[in-house]
């Protein structure tokens, strides 16, 4: 497969080689005590069948539902939950975003700066920890858009896989934490990074990357889980036509771009979300914003700029594109489609449909046929939406408001949502008993204005847009509609809201269970709600910056765990049981 030549940047390449070498040398694994032998660990069938007692992949199942059928903790007894154990994460410097995994009584998770650890899931006692020793940006480390965060690991066989901030993918032994193999997935000297959790599909480890703000070309790569050998690579936006196109999908995408978009990479980085339908053998990928954000700079003749801000369905065998749906054509606003994807089987208008659902940054909840890419429905899920008045239910395209294209208009505008999005990285959860999706949403706004003297600068943000105050007269900020953060329960079959609960501060991801419960982080609390009505039933203080809760069962005891706590409060893994302290 053809790859675009790297930019000439010898100095940066040398710097990154030294950084990577030093990081490899100082990587520290500290097992509590070495364990002889190896366990088989979860294989393809275990991931597909998703045993209720364990949590083997980011969304518990490969459909990414964040639903557990465990029902020992219910809406009737959840008020008896208390602390079973907590473990202080000995690495700080960024908020916590990881969902821990549990297999055969061991919990695996990550902390800031790609720090990986394994705990006894019964007691919280450390089994091992592994620190890749990656310096932060001020010390020559990787340039990262939005914090030195990491969203977790993947499990397969006897290996634990983690993506690292510096673009490496590492396989660790699940018993000892020792490195089995490591591969550099991004080119040295360019501003790529990895913050998302890997996934497993067809015996391969799937990993994307970030960096669109700095000016990169997005892609997704599959590596053989046993050896680390590259199986395939799929680009998300076209490169320089003079270099040739990797496949027909890239050739078709290039027809929707103009100018010399490849100079700043184009963007489209797949920095977070994946889902896998083993029956259809389709891997679903959400892609990110353009580089620069402003379309009138990166593609001055307009165009949809495929495959930015899109859901891609790829053949899991070779990465070839099967279908795509673009949630934000010609993205001008950093309205990524990298937010969590979910695969559901629903009855819609009396017809059984296999669908994929997503609530991307742009504020609309989409229901798409996951086998064909056919648009089924799209409706707003938050209050503050001013960039578009709705989705055309015939074409599936947003109905943009006149002021939305601030670059084309050469007129800045306050638009909702802003680049933080109406929903970001925080996972949503599904409950088959209620038929509802539980979505952590937010209302926000930003002033978008095109930069008129844009020049691409390596190693710096290159958005082509200003969203901050100052720089001349502008209209007054309009009053924000709706609560800033909230939990929304939606019926995806009808694409309507059923209930909502405002948050007391920032929100985290959600978990739904067979006990008619929804857990989520709200401000500094882990909260449990009745999944049917939204009534708040229980809370526990865990500290600010809540990640995403999960649940598992050992020896007939159900546990609920969440990573939470800011740097100042001390990041911790918190685990609760009925009758705990």
Query: If DSSP codes are grouped into helix, strand and coil, which group holds residue 247?
Result: coil
At which residue do the structure tokens 């001055």 appear?
300
- Asked whether the bond before 417 is cis by omega within 30 degrees of 0, the reply is yes
Q: Respond yes or no: is residue 334 known to be catalytic.
A: yes
Contact 511, 66 (CB under 8 A): yes
Q: How many other C-beta atoms lie within 10 A of the C-beta of residue 467?
A: 17
Nearest to 128 by CA among 117, 144, 115: 117
CA distances from 109 to 56, 57, 106, 194 (A): 11, 11, 10, 16
Number of C-alpha atoms within 13 angstroms, CB side, residue 383?
A: 15
450 contacts 296 by C-beta, under 8 angstroms:
yes
Return the exposure string of 317-335: e unless at least 16 CB atoms fall within 10 Å of the residue's CB, then b: eebebbbbbbbbbbbbbbb
Helix (H) or strand (E) holding 249: helix 248-254
Name the nearest CA neighbour of 41 among 198, 230, 196, 225.
225
Q: Give CB contacts under 8 A, 24+ apart, made by 23-27.
A: 23/132, 23/133, 23/134, 23/135, 23/166, 24/132, 24/182, 25/133, 26/133, 27/130, 27/131, 27/132, 27/133, 27/179
- Cα-Cα-Cα-Cα dihedral of 247, 251, 254, 256, to 10°? -120
Q: Are 184 and 165 in contact (CB under 8 A)?
A: no
d(CA 308, CA 336): 8
User: Length of the chain in residues, anyone?
Assistant: 581
For the record, the structure tokens of 379 come out as 């409706």
Q: Are strands 106-110 and 572-578 parallel, antiparallel or unpaired?
A: unpaired
Residues 253 and 247: their CA atoms lie apart, in Å, by 10
Tally the C-alpha atoms within 13 A of residue 110's C-alpha that lie toward its C-beta: 33
CA 314 to each of CA 262, 285, 311, 321, 570: distance values in angstroms, whole numbers, following the listed order: 23, 8, 10, 5, 40
Active-site entry in 229, 334, 369, 491: 334
Q: Catalytic residue numbers? A: 334
């Amino acid at each position: 497969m053809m790859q675009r030549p790297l930019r000439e940047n010898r100095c940066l390449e040398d710097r990154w080689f030294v950084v990577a070498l030093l990081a490899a040398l100082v990587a520290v694994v500290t097992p509590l005590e070495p364990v002889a032998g190896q366990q088989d660990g979860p294989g393809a069938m275990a991931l597909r069948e998703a045993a209720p007692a364990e949590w083997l992949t980011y969304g518990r199942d490969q459909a990414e539902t964040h639903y557990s059928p465990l029902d020992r903790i219910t809406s009737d007894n959840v008020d008896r939950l208390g602390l079973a154990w907590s473990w202080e994460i000995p690495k700080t410097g960024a908020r916590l975003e990881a969902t821990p995994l549990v297999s055969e009584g061991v919990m695996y998770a990550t902390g800031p700066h790609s720090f990986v650890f394994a705990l006894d899931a019964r007691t919280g006692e450390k089994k091992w920890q592994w620190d890749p020793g990656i310096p932060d940006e001020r010390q020559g480390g990787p340039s990262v858009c939005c914090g030195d965060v990491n969203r977790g690991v993947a499990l397969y066989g006897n290996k634990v896989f983690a993506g690292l901030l510096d673009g490496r993918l590492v396989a660790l032994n699940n018993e000892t934490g020792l490195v089995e193999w490591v591969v550099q997935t991004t080119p040295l000297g360019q501003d790529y990074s990895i913050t998302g959790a890997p996934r497993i599909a067809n015996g391969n480890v799937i990993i994307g990357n970030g960096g669109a703000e700095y000016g990169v070309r997005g892609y997704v790569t599959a590596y053989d889980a046993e050896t680390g050998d590259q199986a395939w690579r799929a680009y998300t936006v076209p490169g320089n036509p003079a270099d040739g196109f990797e496949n027909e999908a890239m050739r078709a995408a290039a027809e929707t771009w103009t100018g010399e978009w490849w100079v700043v990479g184009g963007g489209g980085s797949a920095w977070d979300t994946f889902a896998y339908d083993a029956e259809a053998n389709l891997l679903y990928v959400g892609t990110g914003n353009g580089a620069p954000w402003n379309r009138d700079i990166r593609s001055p003749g307009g165009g949809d700029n495929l495959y930015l801000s899109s859901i891609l369905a790829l053949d899991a065998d070779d990465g070839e594109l099967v279908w795509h749906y673009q949630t934000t054509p010609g993205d001008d606003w950093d309205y990524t489609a990298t937010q969590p994807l979910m695969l559901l089987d629903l009855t819609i208008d009396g017809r059984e449909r296999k669908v994929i659902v997503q609530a991307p940054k742009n504020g609309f909840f989409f229901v798409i046929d996951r086998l064909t890419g056919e648009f089924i429905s799209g409706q707003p899920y938050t209050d503050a939406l001013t960039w578009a008045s709705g989705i055309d239910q015939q074409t599936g395209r947003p109905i943009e408001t006149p002021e939305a294209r601030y670059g084309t208009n050469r007129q800045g505008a306050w638009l909702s949502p802003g680049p933080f999005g109406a929903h970001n990285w925080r996972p949503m959860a599904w409950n088959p008993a209620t038929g509802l999706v539980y979505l952590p949403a937010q209302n926000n706004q930003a002033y978008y204005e095109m930069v008129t003297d844009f020049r691409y600068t390596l190693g710096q943000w290159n958005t082509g847009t200003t969203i901050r105050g100052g720089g001349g007269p502008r209209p007054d900020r309009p009053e924000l509609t709706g609560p800033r953060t909230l939990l929304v329960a939606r019926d995806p079959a009808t694409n309507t809201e059923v209930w909502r609960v405002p948050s007391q501060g920032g929100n985290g991801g959600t978990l739904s269970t067979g006990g008619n419960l929804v857990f989520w982080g709200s401000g500094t609390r882990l909260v449990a709600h009745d999944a049917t009505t939204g009534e708040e039933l229980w809370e526990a203080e865990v500290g600010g910056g809540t990640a995403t809760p999960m649940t598992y069962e050992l020896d007939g005891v159900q546990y609920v765990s969440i990573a939470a706590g800011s740097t100042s409060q001390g990041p911790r893994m918190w685990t609760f049981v009925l009758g705990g302290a």
